[in-house]
Amino acid sequence: MTAPPPVLDVAGVTKSYGHVQALRGVDLQVRPREVHALVGDNGAGKSTLMKIIAGAVSPDSGTIAVDGRPVTFARPADAQAAGIETVYQDLALAPTLTAGENLYLGREVLKPGLLGRLGFVDRAAMNRSAERQLSTLGAKLQSLASEVGSLSGGQKQAVAVARASLWGSALIMLDEPTAALGVSQTEFVLKLVEQLRDERGLSVLLISHSMPDVFRVADRVTVLRLGQTVLTEEISALSTNDLIAAMTGAGIPAGGPTT
Amino acid sequence: MSTITRPGVKAGPSLTARLLASQRFSNLTIFGLLVAIIVFFTVVTPSGTFFSNYNLTSIALAGSQLLILSAGVTFLLIAAGLDLSVGAVVVFSSVLAAKLMLGLTSGLAGTAQGGAELWLPILAGVGAGVVTGAAWGLVNGMLVVKSKIPSFIVTLATSTIILGLAQVWTGGMNVSGVPQALTDAFGMGTLLGVPWPVVTAAAVTGLLWVVLARTRFGLRTYAIGANPEAARRAGINVDRHLLAIYCMVGLLAGLVGMIDISRFSTASVSGYANIALQSITAVIIGGTSLWGGRGKMSGTVVGAFIPATLTSGFVIMNLQPFWQNVAVGCVLIFAVFVDQYRRRAMNVT
């Protein structure tokens, strides 16, 4: 029996900005159909690693493979072509456009035939698809015609996630998706994350500061500290204290006393 | 699929708030305002003077140039840009076209009468005028996109540069003597009873209406105005898109210049000092957001005809037509108030 290759395999990646070594050898493996949390204290290198996986920054050394195939990302479009979509913390949505228009922004559906060649867009098709995508994720909008800017924070996040899941075929990377949300909206977004895995069969890399979120949805977790991978483990084998210890380097043994 | 609780369903805002916040409401208000103005003047003026074929045609003729410019400016405002230089471009293109026509026809006999041999110089002048307008638009766009200076400042500067160049070229004098044939055929000419300038304005506006409402170019214009960073991340070439819009606005300004010299046989150096602000006013009255991302061509059409309609009505009522300025200013404040209210209502999440 051979296990399928990891959806994303980052090995020995380093990156320096001048004298600052942001990443000093990061390993990260995301398996198929798993929610993988990436945690670490401020300055641990999470955002640098995220930018590298999104293709916005090139690593100094190390390798990246998607579905077992080695890849090099020179620009974000390369990462997208490999099936990786990123949902940024400051949502990359156009607030005065509808959900359907946002889902297809930059990749608009054109009408068939001559009208399409003249650049006419097929809003009905985009709306239908948006409705389908959102309902797969368990989110329903009251009106598909309303501007995205008028939706709640959780619904906006749902539109952004739906957009990513429409185009991403391998991995959806979510950057602090619940940072600005209240309790019920957070729960709503975490369900979206589960739906991505369970209904869409995608892998999710969840970058988060929130320990409750990580324990709530993640299957496995990777901890970065000072630009290095210090821990990758099944979430069920860990306690909050273990995670915090790994993040801070406090060296508290699992289950050990806390001060 | 499992059942999912749906948070974020808040108690709806009040009816007035929702009414003010809806795009359809503001479009209807402004359209209703134009209808009210027309009904008012029809009632208070001697029967048949305001709502006559003749008077409506002259209103359409008076508003046609403003409408063409405003149709282009609608794209620009939706994309969160501004162009204060359109009046200067109108003047520059008019002067260039008139000078070119004069130069090319100076050797020909019977210039004032018009003849077949005049059409080459006329077409050359018109073509050069329109292309020059587009070229100035390209200059504006390049400066805005490359320098990152706000479009307000860039086009304020180019507006004085372009007008200054036209003034230097002409010594500040109007250029008269545009071939009569152009005026006869186009400026004063009609198609099925409708003046050619009105036909042109209707065709241009109709085309741009479809482009804005139905095509990818239009949709991306809204997206760029709403969130340029989102558009960029979605792979849209924002700079190139903005460049195309500035270029189009310049081209339309050139076209308006050609309509102007064909109507009045003269390239006017001082006639277009206010048209840039008038076009922005018309577009905003029509419900397009000053902050970009939102707007409709239907509103612009109404907004562009309110000044001409008011002027005509005041003239027939024997009032000073300058009251039009007062009224338009009041409507502008109301339109921006509604726009601001809508933005605030939307940002509360």
Contact B176, B266 (CB under 8 A): yes
Hey, how many other C-beta atoms are within 10 angstroms of the C-beta on B112? 9
What average pLDDT is seen over chain B?
Answer: 86
Q: Which of A97, A110, A136, A155 to mutate to test the interface with B (most CBs of B within 10 A)?
A: A97
Contact A159, A148 (CB under 8 A): yes
Q: Which of B2, B3, B6 to mutate to test the interface with A (most CBs of A within 10 A)?
A: B6
A92–B226 CB contact, under 8 Å: no
> Does residue A154 belong to any structural domain of this protein?
no
Could you report the per-residue pLDDT of B171-191, keeping only the tens digit for each?
988 988 888 888 888 888 888
> How much is the pLDDT for A257?
44
Nearest to A92 among B219, B233, B349 (CB): B233
A139–B2 CB contact, under 8 Å: no
The span from the CA of A108 to the CA of A114, in Å, is 16
CA–CA distances in Å: residue A36 to residues A171, A199, A210, A214, B319:
10, 16, 14, 9, 75
Question: Kind of pairing, strands A35-40 and A203-207?
Answer: parallel
Contacts of B7 in chain A (CB under 8 A): 152, 154, 184-185, 187-188
Nearest to B229 among A92, A120, A151 (CB): A92
> How much is the pLDDT for A256?
43
> How much is the pLDDT for B165?
95
Contact B249, B55 (CB under 8 A): no
pLDDT of residue B77 exceeding 60, the answer is yes
Nearest to A121 among B219, B227, B231 (CB): B219
The span from the CA of B279 to the CA of B273, in Å, is 12
Nearest CA in chain A to B233: A92
Contact B68, B252 (CB under 8 A): yes
> How much is the pLDDT for B344?
74
A106–B347 CB contact, under 8 Å: no
CA–CA distances in Å: residue B78 to residues A101, A106, A145:
16, 17, 19
Contacts of B347 in chain A (CB under 8 A): 149
A108–B347 CB contact, under 8 Å: no
> Does residue A253 belong to any structural domain of this protein?
no
Lookup: tokens for A120: 């006419």
What is the band of B349 on the pLDDT scale with cuts at 50, 70, 90? very low
pLDDT of residue B206 exceeding 80, the answer is yes
The span from the CA of B63 to the CA of A29, in Å, is 66
Lookup: tokens for B27: 């479009």
What is the band of B11 on the pLDDT scale with cuts at 50, 70, 90? very low
Q: Which CATH number does the domain housing residue A65 bear? A: 3.40.50.300
Q: Tell me the residue range of the domain where A191 lies.
A: 8-83+168-248
The span from the CA of A202 to the CA of A199, in Å, is 8
Contact A178, A206 (CB under 8 A): no
Could you report the per-residue pLDDT of A178-187, keeping only the tens digit for each?
887 888 888 8
Residue B283 in 3-state DSSP?
helix
Lookup: tokens for B346: 């939307």
The span from the CA of B62 to the CA of B59, in Å, is 5
Lookup: tokens for B195: 């003046």
Lookup: tokens for A128: 């239908």
Contacts of A136 in chain B (CB under 8 A): 1
Average pLDDT over residues B325-345: 82
The span from the CA of B44 to the CA of B47, in Å, is 8
Contacts of A122 in chain B (CB under 8 A): none
The span from the CA of A23 to the CA of A228, in Å, is 6
Q: Which helix or strand (DSSP H or E) is residue B191 part of?
A: strand B190-191
> Does residue A72 belong to any structural domain of this protein?
yes
> Within chain A, which residues score under 70 in pLDDT?
1-2, 251-259
A97–B346 CB contact, under 8 Å: no
Average pLDDT over residues B129-145: 96
CA–CA distances in Å: residue A26 to residues A47, A60, A143, B10, B97:
13, 12, 44, 44, 66
- Taking alpha carbons only, the member of B64, B79, B69, B37 closest to residue B288 is B79
> Does residue A185 belong to any structural domain of this protein?
yes
B216–A93 CB contact, under 8 Å: no
Chain B interface residues (partner A, CB cutoff 8 A): 1-10, 214-217, 219-220, 222-223, 225-227, 229-231, 233-236, 289, 293-294, 345-347, 349
Name the residue with tokens 């005809």.
B305
CA–CA distances in Å: residue B281 to residues A139, A205, B73, B323:
41, 49, 10, 16
What is the band of B273 on the pLDDT scale with cuts at 50, 70, 90? confident
CA Rg, chain A, in Å?
A: 19
> How much is the pLDDT for B257?
95
B5–A184 CB contact, under 8 Å: yes
ipTM of the complex, rounded to two decimals: 0.82
> How much is the pLDDT for A254?
47
Which has the higher per-residue pLDDT, B323 or B27?
Answer: B323
Domain count, chain A: 1
- Determine what percent of chain B is predicted with pLDDT higher than 90: 48
> How much is the pLDDT for B253?
96
Contact B310, B323 (CB under 8 A): yes
B215–A118 CB contact, under 8 Å: yes
How far away is chain A from the Cα of B140, in angstroms, using its nearest Cα?
Answer: 25
The span from the CA of A23 to the CA of A48, in Å, is 8
Q: Which of B1, B10, B227 to mutate to test the interface with A (most CBs of A within 10 A)?
A: B227
Nearest to B226 among A91, A94, A120 (CB): A94
Contact A144, B341 (CB under 8 A): no
> How much is the pLDDT for B82?
94
Q: CA angle, A91 as apex, A85 and A96 as ends, to 5°?
A: 115
> How much is the pLDDT for B25?
61
pLDDT of residue B287 exceeding 60, the answer is yes
Residue B112 in 3-state DSSP?
coil
Average pLDDT over residues B341-347: 70
> Does residue A193 belong to any structural domain of this protein?
yes
Nearest to B230 among A105, A107, A121 (CB): A105
Residues paired with residue A11 on neighbouring β-strands, in sequence order: A63
Could you report the per-residue pLDDT of A108-155, keeping only the tens digit for each?
999 999 998 899 999 999 999 998 888 888 777 878 888 898 888 888
List, as own/partner pairs, every contact residues A237-241 make where C-beta atoms lie below 8 angstroms and the sequence separation is at least 24, other chains included: A240/A211, A240/A215
> How much is the pLDDT for A35?
95
Contacts of B225 in chain A (CB under 8 A): 96
pLDDT of residue B148 exceeding 70, the answer is yes
Nearest to B235 among A95, A106, A153 (CB): A106
> Does residue A56 belong to any structural domain of this protein?
yes
Amino acid letter, residue B273: A
Which has the higher per-residue pLDDT, B257 or B30?
Answer: B257
Contacts of B234 in chain A (CB under 8 A): 92, 105-107
Contacts of A95 in chain B (CB under 8 A): 226-227, 293, 346
Contact A89, A160 (CB under 8 A): no
> Does residue A125 belong to any structural domain of this protein?
no
B7–A191 CB contact, under 8 Å: no
List, as own/partner pairs, every contact residues A73-77 make where C-beta atoms lie below 8 angstroms and the sequence separation is at least 24, other chains included: A76/B233, A77/B235
Contact A82, A92 (CB under 8 A): no
Contacts of B214 in chain A (CB under 8 A): 120-121
Hey, how many other C-beta atoms are within 10 angstroms of the C-beta on B153? 14
End-to-end, the C-alpha distance of chain B in Å comes to: 28
Average pLDDT over residues B43-65: 86
How far away is chain A from the Cα of B254, in angstroms, using its nearest Cα?
Answer: 25
How far away is chain B from the Cα of A169, in angstroms, using its nearest Cα?
Answer: 17
Contacts of A110 in chain B (CB under 8 A): 216
Rounded to 10°, the helix A153-167/A183-198 angle is 20
Nearest CA in chain A to B215: A120
HEC secondary structure over chain A? CCCCCCCEEEEEEEEEECCEEEEEEEEEEECCCCEEEEEECCCCCHHHHHHHHHCCCCCCEEEEEECCEEECCCCHHHHHHCCEEEECCCCCCCCCCEHHHHHCCCCCCECCHHHHHCCEECHHHHHHHHHHHHHHCCCCCCCCCCEHHHCCHHHHHHHHHHHHHHHCCCEEEEECCCCCCCHHHHHHHHHHHHHHHHCCCCEEEEECCCHHHHHHHCCEEEEEECCEEEEEEEHHHCCHHHHHHHHHCCCCCCCCCCC
